[in-house]
Amino acid sequence: LDLGANVNCTSEILFQYGVMASVLAEQISGIESPRVALLNVGEEDIKGNAQVKYADQLFKNAKGINYIGYVEGDDIFTDYADVVVTDGFTGNIALKSCEGLAKLVINEVKRQSQANFFSRMMARIALPLLKTVYNRVNPDQYNGASLLGLRGIVIKSHGNASAEAFYYAILQAKQEAEMKVPEKIKSKIETVLLEQL
């Protein structure tokens, strides 16, 4: 979070992203006390730009947020953090890089599996495993990006999204409405900000 909506974020906005995303993770993913981290160029306190360093202090001083510190890009897909906070510029680059890598891997597996008879036989044997991996990284299932901090629910979708991808985005919006996510985000923001006064 953020994947491209706001490319110029203040430290306060990064902090608010973490608060809002922790509510989303609790309500939609069912994660109790989600681990929130800031994306940075290193895990050490001395690393990072001024916005990230000050946001780090805001998180450290906040009550009610399970802040675990900095993470680097190679931790985004590990189980280290449930919420990774960044500005829209960096987040969008990370997202597009991951999408490109996924396409490369899928295309290379397809190409290599057709290289010769032995490859085709191995591909048939590995097909259940490959389907499981594909389903885990299938971008259609993760098409909708929630625009948090609004009074209503807005899910941003790719312009080239398939019908299946739109279906998943609509399911996400439905789930957020049923769980009253905007109201819970508002309440959490108010609580956390009041505790800082």
Can you state the percent helix, strand and coil of the chain, rounding each to 5?
A: 60, 10, 30
Asked, as a colleague might, if the bond just before 74 is cis with ω within 30 of 0, I would say no
Under DSSP, the state recorded for 156 is: E
Task: Give residue-wise pLDDT tens across range 82-115.
Answer: 999 999 888 888 888 887 887 888 888 888 888 8
Mean pLDDT, rounded, of the chain: 85
11-196 CATH fold: Isopropylmalate Dehydrogenase (3.40.718)
Measured in residues, the chain has a length of 197
Task: Give residue-wise pLDDT tens across range 23-76.
Answer: 888 888 889 999 999 999 988 888 889 999 999 999 999 888 999 999 999 998
pLDDT of residue 66: 95
**Which range has highest mean pLDDT (32-41, 135-144, 148-157)?**
32-41
CA distances to 71, 127, 158, 190 from 83, in Å? 10, 32, 22, 20
Amino acid at 15: F
Nearest to 175 by CA among 153, 148, 195, 150: 153
